[in-house]
A and B are shown apart, each in its own frame.
Chain A
């Protein structure tokens, strides 16, 4: 996957490059979750749908064991972007 002399975007939502991911892995971030927290890769609108597999590959390429490299980040509500108005309840002050 290396691409000398050019920038390769791994996470398109947050525009995180391969180089930034590798730098994070090499400074000790050895899981999908910690790479995300260090670089924002996977924090965008698609929540890592595409880039998490790419990052797992980079992790294994850097010597992280497969089980750890492919351990998925936690999925959380709302799974796909939804308008805030879609989760509204009653009138303000209603509990």
Chain B
């Protein structure tokens, strides 16, 4: 058997790649495992928005603000091109109640140092002239960013491999290996055993089943999210648009309602997305085919908000399992089980990826933490005996 790794990281998405990168750069002998290809899960299905206005108050907000600073300088730090650009985000309110929600959120964020602007319907129309504002009350606006998510993951990989990181794709983890109540590595679907001092799960929707089998209840759920990409067109959208109902409905409630979001890539393609219901407990059996429900839902949302796009061609669609927690706080930190560290269920991934990578590497290298993660880890509990 090969020498044990200092750390094995499970999951080749934003967080797995970032954590593996910073661990390797901290001198740890690190292996990154991905069940398919890098970015094959929810990270590769993501629109690349560096979303800052949707964080929860408290530590999430602080991490988001620190992450925002970090991601804007990451191109220099990792000497890479991420196609980073500043772009505004608009969260649309479809009712007076949602507008009140945005207003109180803005007041709360202001106290924590994040400035949100509130737009009435007329200001919204001026900000996004192609948007049909009928039926909308207003929006909150925040200046944020957008980047190429694949370039971000590959930049972390390239940064990590230069420091000795090993990466294995198409490598499915079947179970955590427990020895005397301690996690000592992972067993692959092939039967191969990989021993590691630290096991880090950045495995999104797969985190819960892996942990449950090891006796740990981690409340990371997922909803199905689907998207269409259209042919490239002239500049059409000025902002990343999402719905206020998303924060109250899609993530946080079982049996959640659908929620629409859209943005335009630098190449001109429109990304049209929708999140909906939870899938089966085992994400491996979650249907991967584009559903009629989402065809209708996305086409209906476009007909309502962007009637001028009626004739636009769609060229591809995708489906993913988008992780969330009911508390809206990530399962991030030491799991309570020796040797096992968790980084899953984050709300805004791109903005947090680098800072989470750095914090995790620092923690596993025994450096004094700048952040008290107990707020996040309190929701991780041993499985109750039946």
Interface, chain A (partner B; CB < 8 A) = 14, 27-29, 31, 33-34, 37-38, 40, 43-45, 47, 76-78, 81-85, 87-95
Residues of A within 8 A of B267 (CB): 14, 40
- 28 A-B pairs (CB sep. < 8 Å): A28-B161, A31-B37, A34-B37, A37-B38, A43-B229, A45-B231, A47-B315, A76-B290, A77-B290, A78-B315, A81-B313, A81-B315, A82-B313, A83-B310, A83-B311, A83-B313, A83-B314, A84-B299, A84-B302, A84-B309, A84-B312, A85-B310, A87-B295, A88-B295, A88-B303, A92-B301, A92-B304, A93-B300
Seed contacts A40-B267, A84-B302; 18 additional CB < 8 Å A-B pairs: A28-B161, A33-B37, A43-B229, A44-B232, A76-B290, A76-B317, A84-B228, A84-B298, A84-B309, A84-B311, A87-B298, A88-B299, A89-B295, A89-B299, A90-B296, A92-B303, A92-B304, A93-B300
Other-chain residue from B289, B293, B311, B315 in contact with A44 (beta carbon distance below 8 A): B315
- Closest residue of chain A to B316, judged by CB? A76
The total number of A-B Cβ pairs within 8 Å is: 94
Interface, chain B (partner A; CB < 8 A) = 37-39, 44, 150-151, 154, 157-158, 161, 228-232, 267, 289-290, 292-293, 295-296, 298-304, 309-318
* Chain A binding surface SS class: loop
Residues of B within 8 A of A85 (CB): 299, 303, 310-311
Complex CA gap A62/B303 in Å reads 47
Are B314 and A87 closer than 8 Å at their CB atoms?
yes
The 9 residue pairs across chains A and B that have the minimum distance between CB atoms = A89-B296, A81-B313, A87-B295, A37-B150, A88-B299, A77-B290, A92-B300, A77-B317, A81-B315
Residues of A within 8 A of B318 (CB): 76
Are B44 and A37 closer than 8 Å at their CB atoms?
yes
